[in-house]
Amino acid sequence: MKLIIDTAEGKLIQEIEGCQRILGLYSKEAFELISQQWIKVGWNQKYAYTFTWMGRPVIQLPEDMVRIQEVIHRVKPDVIIETGIAHGGSLVFYASLCKAMGKGRVIGIDIEIRPHNRQAIEAHELHSLITLVEGSSTAAEVVSRIKSLVKPREVVTVILDSAHSKQHVLAELEAYHDLVTSGSYIVAADGIMGDLNDVPAGKSEWTWDNPAAAAAEFAQKHSEFVLEDPAWPFNESELTENVTYWPKGWLRRK
Ligand SMILES: C[S@@+](CC[C@H](N)C(=O)[O-])C[C@H]1O[C@@H](n2cnc3c(N)ncnc32)[C@H](O)[C@@H]1O
């Protein structure tokens, strides 16, 4: 595909296999096409590796953080479980929402919590709301430890952001889905990998080996879940699509 941004004429020209489509540069369709490309360029430039939340690096697209904030504020989970801690910024982000809402705590799992990251998270002002568990998210002892930390009838939301192979995410979905309460979500982050096969730092196998493929396969087997993006609670635009690294990853428990 070729995209030509013509700011002089106020047009976006999309060319696919010789066929041209001319769109108004300031239209909904142009915004969607430019956003899809912006996502890919930004991913290659490690745009998501440029943010912190309350002092800790958070490796996310800010758009995804705002969208999940909308979900957390609506669902008001007692427990937010996240696989993949890295520097702890996303755990701190979820903990800051819990603190502001006066409800909820956060459990993070990582195969390797580096000493400097552990120290910084343990020294953080929101640490009392965060439990760290070290080990592979799919290891039986880790899964049972996490389950032991959740009390019966607690509302639970799960974010899967550790290893992003289809096989690993599918194993995580199978391991943690039964903790997710009705109306809440388990989300497979970084399904965007499926669109990054033509990006310099991407890989061709990501076309099929990605978290969105795991979520789709899981949804087919688990009719108690529906694969759908959470509705936007506020929208005074004509836009409908998320600008996201987490496409086709949101599974809501019916
Ligand atoms: C993308 S980073 C997480 C980013 C973090 N959620 C944030 O928003 O800042 C992925 C993390 O997953 C961890 N990881 C990789 N394989 C894992 C596994 N099998 N189980 C648990 N964590 C794993 C890595 O050590 C790494 O810290």
Residues 164-220: tens digit of each pLDDT: 999 999 999 999 999 999 999 999 999 999 999 999 999 999 999 999 999 999 999
Both tokens assigned to 112: 């390797």
Helices then strands (H, E): number in the chain?
7, 12
Q: How far is the CA of 163 from the centre of ligand 1 (A)?
A: 6
For tokens 């066929």, name the residue: 19
Q: How far is the CA of 33 from the centre of ligand 1 (A)?
A: 30
Strand order in the sheet with 19-24: 2-6, 11-16, 19-24
Q: Give the alpha-carbon dihedral of 175, 179, 184, 190, to 10 degrees.
A: -20
Specify the DSSP element, H or E, that contains 144. helix 140-148
Both tokens assigned to 210: 């990605």
What is the longest distance spanned by two Cα atoms in the chain?
Answer: 61
Lining ligand 1 with CB less than 6 A are 58-60, 82-87, 89-90, 109-112, 136-137, 161-163
Residue of 61, 110, 117 with the most ligand 1 atoms within 8 Å of its CB, for mutation: 110
Residue ID of nearest Cα to ligand 1 atom 27:
86
Q: How far is the CA of 83 from the centre of ligand 1 (A)?
A: 6
Q: Is 46 exposed, middle or buried (0-12, 13-18, 19+ CB in 10 A)?
A: exposed
Residue of 85, 167, 170 with the most ligand 1 atoms within 8 Å of its CB, for mutation: 85
- d(CA 155, CA 99) in angstroms, rounded, equals 16
Per-residue model confidence as pLDDT tens digits over 116-126: 999 999 999 99
Q: How far is the CA of 115 from the centre of ligand 1 (A)?
A: 15
**pLDDT at residue 221, as a whole number:** 98
**pLDDT at residue 222, as a whole number:** 98
For tokens 């013509």, name the residue: 6
Q: Is the pTM of this model over 0.85?
A: yes
Per-residue model confidence as pLDDT tens digits over 52-92: 999 999 999 999 999 999 999 999 999 999 999 999 999 99
**pLDDT at residue 67, as a whole number:** 98
- Name 124's Cβ contacts closer than 8 Å, sequence gap at least 6: 54, 55, 56, 88, 92, 130
Atom of ligand 1 nearest to the CA of 90: 8
Q: How far is the CA of 50 from the centre of ligand 1 (A)?
A: 17
Q: How far is the CA of 243 from the centre of ligand 1 (A)?
A: 22
Q: How far is the CA of 63 from the centre of ligand 1 (A)?
A: 20
